[in-house]
Structure formats: structure tokens, C-alpha cells
Amino acid sequence: MEETKKVKVLVVDDHPLMRVGIAAIINATPDMTAVAQTGSGEEAVKLFDQYRPDITLMDLRLPGMSGVNAIRTIRSRHAQARFVVLTTYEGDEDIHQALAAGAQGYMIKGMPHEALIDALRRVHAGGRFLPQPIKLALASRTPDADLSSRERQVLALLVGGKSNNEIAAELGITEATVKCHVSVILRRLNVSDRTQAVVVALQRGLLHL
Amino acid sequence: MEETKKVKVLVVDDHPLMRVGIAAIINATPDMTAVAQTGSGEEAVKLFDQYRPDITLMDLRLPGMSGVNAIRTIRSRHAQARFVVLTTYEGDEDIHQALAAGAQGYMIKGMPHEALIDALRRVHAGGRFLPQPIKLALASRTPDADLSSRERQVLALLVGGKSNNEIAAELGITEATVKCHVSVILRRLNVSDRTQAVVVALQRGLLHL
DNA sequence: TCCAGCATCAGACTTTCGTCTGATTCGCAG
DNA sequence: CTGCGAATCAGACGAAAGTCTGATGCTGGA
């Protein structure tokens, strides 16, 4: 068995136990090896520079720098870098962001681990890998889902449970303007009041608690 | 090394990769062995009967029967059964429920895996194990947090984004009564409107999306 | 037995929410 | 250059939401 031919994988996940499991699966595959692992996005960037893995297996929910930002940062320096995102399914927004950032594969924690190896193989071969449910979630995305930055700002405050008045104070604008933004947000998210807006924002992963 | 002296652990988690990691850590510990594993609460009950493990490592978020219900079911038949809950921290309610159901230990995914072994040892020795942040979360719990079953029902509909009117229709009561329930819920959760109620309910794990 | 708590309802009142109409400014793409 | 969309504000309106007072029936524990 020639070591140099093994596919080098960098594992990024904030759960140590999960990293152990992933590494075990990868290292049990004869032509793959987990060369390094970490629980932080910042360290992932450093480790990538150091080990130049063929594929990076990346969780999105990380303390500090998010997985998406880590992908963006690494890709800005290494355009050929390939990523498989590994996460518990948390709404279509995460998926969309990750793919936009340059991920080639998406794997859901909780799928049988053969699927993980399959995904790694396909992505390493230059292809893509998206599970069926992920494809469906992306297909059902309406383009209206993209809010302006100001609207996302207001939505964040809505999720914080703020009233129109408080939001106005916090943003230094009038309540009338806030109402206007809220109305637009409701239309874009296709809901009829702020409570529903909060629920779908959390469901779709537009914001995190 | 005498096999019969090993501490037998049953692993219950719906993420296969996580199970692999947990089992690897346990089996790497000389005096412990992961005798069985599953991703479902129902199967956990069967496997317990079959293997009689010394400790069951239980995730709370499972498809089908919840981890808490699995603990309750197993305990009703085997009062001496010991449990360590292993979960991503999702609010004080889960913890409270799990301990009330009879768990002796609580471990957060994302802690170093030495801590897991430590927890298993202590619980197997007849003790308890609660990480510091968990203790704090439990300490800051107000007794007001317990809602009546009717109130929980209303809260669930609030989280569903329903209006008072829709809730009234769904429960077959008057809107006046719904308003009354909502008022009580707001006071109990210590918030001032339904949107905030939804947010804290999700934060504290009173309800799941 | 009696009180406390839960669930139910009603009316009235204030505040907030959400919509609508209409208007101004700014930057950017065609 | 022109127009479109974002962001800003205003006023006014109806519809919800939330509070308060007060009242009834039921259950279960002290």
C-alpha cells in the first residue's frame, strides 16, 4: 500500500466524539487517511495551509469563525480546494451558503457512513455529491428568500423578540420605516405576522439562536 | 484481561458517525466495552433487555420515541438501570426532563472525550455526573417554568405561528380563553409578547421545531 | 370541608401590528 | 440619462394582541 497515493482528508467538527468517528471511518478505508482534525474554523485555515488535504470535511456550526467563512477563506487562497460539508440538516439557507462558498458535496450527519465515503470519493474524482433531500430543499427555494442586508438586520431583531419601537431605536430610524421593512420581510418569507417570520427564519437557517 | 469484568455500555444516538466515535472511545478504554448500539429509542429498549448493559449512553433527540421516553420505559422495567445522557446542549428543559426520568449523568457533545469516560466511571460507581454549565442552567431554572398541559398545548400553537383566533378554533374554545392562556404563558416565561415566548420556548427546549 | 389552581368565558380598554397611499433620496444597471 | 429598487419617512386605518376585572365550574390536596 503506497502512502503517497492515499486521499488526504482534513476533518473539521466541533464535536470531538464526532471527529473520532469520522476519522475512524476514513482511516478504515484503505485509500484514505485523515491527516488532521480540529474543532475551529480558524485552525482549519492553518491546518489546510500546513497539510494541503485533498478534501476538507467541514461542519458549518463552529464556535468562532463559521464553516462557511472558513471555506471562503481557504478557497480565496487555494482555488482548487475541495470541500464536503457535513452537518445536521438545519434548513436550506446553510446549504445554499455552503454551495455558494464553494463546497462540492453536502452530507447529512445521520446518514449511513458508507454514504460519507461515497461522497468523498465522488468529490475527489472531481464531481459533486448532494443527497436527494438536499436537492429537493434547494429546488423549493424561492428567489424571494434573499433579503437585503438591512432586512436581515431587522429580521435578526425580530428573532430577538424586539418590538417595532425597540428596533427603530436600535437602528436609529423611525418606527414607520421599521414597519415598512417588516412588511417586506413578511412578504418575502411568505408569512403573515412577525411570529411566523421568526419561526421560518429559524427553520430555514436564515438566523441562529 | 477478564472480559466478564468489563463495564458494558449500550450506545444510543441517531448519528451513525457519532456512534462509531463513541464506541471507539469506549472500546479503547481497557475496562469498558460497547456491547451494542442503535439510533432508535424503540430498539434501545429491546437491546437493553437483550444485553443488560451496566450503563446506557443516551442521546435525547431521536427519531420516533424520544430519549427521555426510552429512559422512562427502560427504567420502568429495570429500576437499577443507569443512564448517561449525551446531547448537544439545547436548553434546560431537556436536562430537567432527562434527570426527572432517571438519568444519573449528563454529558455535552463537544466536551473532550476524556470527560465522557470520566462520566461513565462515576455513574457506574453509583455516583452522578453533571458538567458545571449544566448545573448552572438547572440552578437558574425558575419553578414558574412548568406550564400546565393546556398551556403547553397553546404554546405549541404559538410556535406554529397561529393567531389567537386560529388557536381558539383548533382547541374548540373561545378567543377570550386563548388570550387568558397566552397571558399566563407570557408571565411564566417572563416575556412580554408571543414572539419572545416562541424564542425562549425554543431556546430552553420547551418545544422543538 | 374548604381553599387553591386550572380551565372556561365576557366586556372593555390600550397598545401594537400590519397595510395602504404617497413621497423623497440615493446608487446602480441598462 | 433614465429608471428601478433600496432605504427613508408620514399619516391614517382596521385588525390583532395583551391587560384588567370579574365570574363560573371542576378537581384535588390540606
How confident is the model over B3-44, as pLDDT tens digits? 568 999 999 999 999 999 999 999 999 999 999 999 999 999
Which chain C positions have some atom within 7 A of a protein CB? 5-12, 16-22
Strand D proximity: list residues 178-207 of A with CB under 7 Å. 179-181, 193
* pLDDT (mean) for B101-122: 94
The pLDDT value recorded for residue B138 is 87
The pLDDT value recorded for residue A63 is 95
Residue A18: what residue type?
M
- In this structure, chain A runs to a length of 209
The pLDDT value recorded for residue B2 is 52
Specify burial of residue B40 (Cβ count, 10 A radius: 0-12, 13-18, 19+): middle
**What's the half-sphere exposure (Cβ side, CA atoms, 13 Å) at A92?**
15
The pLDDT value recorded for residue A145 is 61
What share of chain B in percent tops pLDDT 90? Answer: 86
In whole angstroms, C21 C1' to A177 CA is 15
In whole angstroms, D29 C1' to B172 CA is 30
CA dist B6 and B105 (Å) reads: 19
CA dist B32 and B28 (Å) reads: 8
The pLDDT value recorded for residue A89 is 85
- Residue B117, φ and ψ in degrees, nearest 5: -60, -40
| Positions in chain A whose pLDDT score sits under 70 | 1-4, 142-145
Mind listing the pLDDT tens digit for each residue in A141-163?
765 567 899 999 999 999 999 99
* pLDDT (mean) for B51-69: 96
CA dist A105 and A87 (Å) reads: 11
* Spatial CB neighbours of A115, under 8 Å, sequence gap ≥ 6: A107, A131
Interface test with A, best of B12, B13, B17 (most A CBs within 10 A): B17
Specify burial of residue A81 (Cβ count, 10 A radius: 0-12, 13-18, 19+): buried
Chain B contact present for A161, CB below 8 A: yes
CA dist A50 and B34 (Å) reads: 36
